[in-house]
Every structure is written in structure tokens, then in C-alpha cells.
Copies of this chain bind each other. A is one copy, B any other.
Amino acid sequence: MSDRYRDFTSSPLGKLLVKNLGLPSPAKLERYEAGAPLVSGTVGLGGRGRLAESLAGILETVGIDSAEVAGAPEEGQRFKGLVFDATGLTSSADLVALRDFFTPLLRSLETNPHVVVLGTPPEQVSGAERVAQRALEGFTRSLGKEIGRGGTVQLVYVAEGAESAVTSTLAFLLSPKSAYVSGQVVRIGAHGTTVAGEVADWERPLAGKVALVTGASRGIGESIARVLHRDGATVVGVDVPQAADPLQALMKELDGDWLTLDITGKDAPQRIAHHLEEKHGGVDVVVHNAGITRDKKLANMAEDRWDSVIGVNLTAPERITRELLDQGVVNAGGSIIGVASIAGIAGNVGQTNYAASKAGVIGLVDSLADELEDGITINAVAPGFIITQMTAAVPFATREVGQRLNAMSQGGLPVDVAETIAWYAHPASSAVNGNVVRVCGQMMLGA
């Protein structure tokens, strides 16, 4: 595919738009390669609060070098990432500490820098502290839009008592695994446990674990299967009977297992539960990836288009989740992961059915996050414009807008969604619960 956006940005109108909107040119995004260090450089640490003192030690656990900085960096000092502990900010007047830390450092960043601001969930504090903590969201989302050069900026709200449960999240957000995740707000320990599960092997955190992935034969599902396999999991792929061949081929390659069925079938939840219980003694990771679109404006929406989209994208995940939980098939410490969508957050023309189904997936996360027991978590990803075979068929202008109207001026890759799911699935992410994280390059589209 030729990059027609670049051609456009050389035109008079394009130049004007780029200049006035401050749109960055698409930067090359570094992505994680198995076996590589998580961060190829130093992470600068600053701020004061509940986390500052332990950050260097936490990062060392996962092999990330860090250095405390205050004020201007030393001559020649460069940073691949920054972490600022803002949990100590208790009033709006305190917020200037953000400027004081970041302003002198922003010119010392390497390409593809990863920035994390740590705060306290606003709903867990009150008065002036709550205001200051909530203000962090406007700050980080703005910095995400102006950092440029393929950089990412996130806000991580860490609940009181969850300070030691941040390791897997920092490892994800400071590394190229989160290349296409930016402008996001993550909560740790805000629902369920505040304690991180134990990890025997940080290189293969899912060793000995079983992961169910629906819609696993191709596209994003295939990438999810590959990344979970890389992390040590035994993957059980599910897809429709028509996709049996590619599904089997992939699962054989990954030393996994497979099951062909229509997830909307009446007995599908029971069949899946039975298979996982009989063959694998349960399941640790459940990824509800299978999804369809049947776009039509509502004025022309036939009932079958409505029903099939709601059925596959929402009712099936609901029923399968319920059956797996009711039958006790999900192992303690397991994770359930939904796939929502930007459309489910912002709405989209021609997608009343699809957006309702994806907003419903967010509802499923909300409804279960405080109910699940035995350290089981539920979270969702909300992909933006991800480049797949399906999107290659999208008309030029829609594709270009989808790809460019984000802070990174480019579409994401299936692996970006898969890495986010692997972070949720990580045993050390047991305090990461009830989150919906967009994988969208901080797309402009939103609610």
C-alpha cells in the first residue's frame, strides 16, 4: 500500500492541516521482539508519593534501568522512558510539579519514548486531592498528543495498598509492547485484589497456563494466539467450522488445541466448558475475540443484521463467561478478556448494532469486575484502527482517516492488541481488573 497520506500532507491544504493541528508525521514504531530487553535505555524517575521510593527496585525486577532526575538532565543524558509519581499531589496548586519535572526533560527523550504518570484513583480520595488527581487525566491526554516521535503517555491510577502490584503494568507500558497504546487511563487495585500474583518466569509468565481464544484462525485472533503461546500458554483456539483448516494449522504450529463450533450455538457454552474441563482441567485465560460486523444505517437495518451482531459479539461472550464461571472451569487467578471497540465508545455511522454490542462488552466488564472471586479478573481492549485483511478492503478515504486521525498518524497492528491482552493475562496483573484500554494510537475519535 502506498502512503497516500504523505502525498496529501505535501499538498497545500495538507501542509496547513499538519502545521495548524500539530499533527505529527507518522513515526516508525518500535515493537517488542521476543528475548529483547523490555527497555533499550534508561527510564527517568521523579515525583513524590506512595510509589517513588520503590520504583527503581520494581523496574530492576524486570531488567529495566532507571535513574532519579530532578530539574535539568545532565549533559548528554538521554531517557527512553519517564515515570512520575503524582500520588503526592493533593491540591490543584501542587500540579505545577508536573511542569517542573517534565518541561526540562522532554528534549532529552529518545525516539519512541514511553511516559507513565502514577496517580491515586480519584474516587478513592476526596476534596482538593480528588480534584488534583482527576486533573492528571487532562494533562496526560494532552502530553500524549504533543509528545510525538512515536511516544506514548499513560496515566496509571494505583489504589492504596496496590503499590507492589504495578510491576507487570510498568513492564508493559514502558516497553515496545505498548507501542500503539497511548493516552490511556489504567486502574490498578481499584476492583478486587490489590495484590499481584506470583511469577515463576518473567520470560514465560503463562507457562503451564491454558488460554482459550475465540476467532483464533486469522487476523487479530491469530496474533493473540501467537503472543500467548510465546508467553508460555497452551492455546485452545475456537473458530467456526468453515475456518477449521487454518485454525488447525495454526494450533498445530503452536502445539495447541482447537475446537470448531459456532459460538452462538445453543450448546456452545456447554461444549466449550466441557472441552476445557475434560482435556485441560480448566482454563486460565479466556479471550472473547470472535466478532462480526453487519453495517447498515438504522433506518435500513433488517432484524437479522441486528440479531447476528448482538448474538456473536455480546450474547455469546456473556453466555460462555457465565457457563465457565458457573461450572468452575476458570482457574483461580484466571483472566477473562473482552474485545470492545472504539465504535462501542464513540459510536459510528452504520454501526448501531455493532456499537451496542461493543458497549455491552464494556458493560460485561463493569458488571463482573467487582463480583468475580478467587482472584479472577475481567478487562477489555478497545481496538482503534488495526491493519488487517479486513481493513485492506475498506474504501481509501475511510481507511486513511481511520489510520491518520490519531496521535501516531498510523494504523496499529494485530500484535498491538495481542500484547495488551497478554498484559491482562499476566499472572502479575491480578490487580489489573475492570479496565477498558484502547489500542488506538490515541485516536481522536471518542465519546
Residues of A within 8 A of B (CB): 8, 13, 16-17, 19-22, 91-93, 95-96, 98-100, 102-103, 106-107, 122-123, 126-128, 130-146, 183, 297-301, 303, 306-307, 310, 314-315, 318, 343-360, 362-364, 366-367, 371, 395-398, 401, 405, 442, 444-447
Contacts and interface: CB of A to CB of B under 8 A. Distances in A.
A115 to B, nearest CB: 11
B397 A146 contact: no
A13 B442 CA distance: 25
A178 B133 CA distance: 31
Contact of A298 (B146, B300, B349): B146
Given A134-B362, A143-B298, A350-B146, A397 B20 contact: yes
Contacts of A146: 297-298, 349-350, 352
Contacts of A140: 347
Given A298-B99, A348-B142, A357 B135 contact: yes
Contacts of A446: 345-346, 444-447
A127 B92 contact: no
17 contacts: A20-B395, A96-B306, A98-B356, A99-B298, A100-B303, A106-B299, A130-B367, A131-B314, A131-B367, A136-B359, A138-B357, A140-B347, A141-B447, A143-B352, A146-B297, A146-B350, A446-B446
A301 B104 CA distance: 10
Given A20-B395, A444-B444, 6 more contacts: A92-B318, A98-B356, A131-B360, A133-B363, A142-B347, A444-B445
A304 to B, nearest CB: 10
A378 to B, nearest CB: 12
B134 A359 contact: yes
A103 B305 CA distance: 12
Contact of A363 (B130, B145, B444): B130
Contact of A183 (B347, B356, B405): B347
A371 to B, nearest CB: 8
Contacts of A363: 122, 130-135
A352 B96 contact: no
B310 A398 contact: no
Contacts of A360: 92, 95, 131-132, 134-135, 138
A297 B444 CA distance: 18
Nearest to A11: B13
Nearest to A316: B92
A92 B346 contact: no
Contact of A99 (B95, B143, B306, B314): B306
Nearest to A144: B347
A265 to B, nearest CB: 15
B142 A355 contact: yes
A97 to B, nearest CB: 10
A183 B134 contact: no
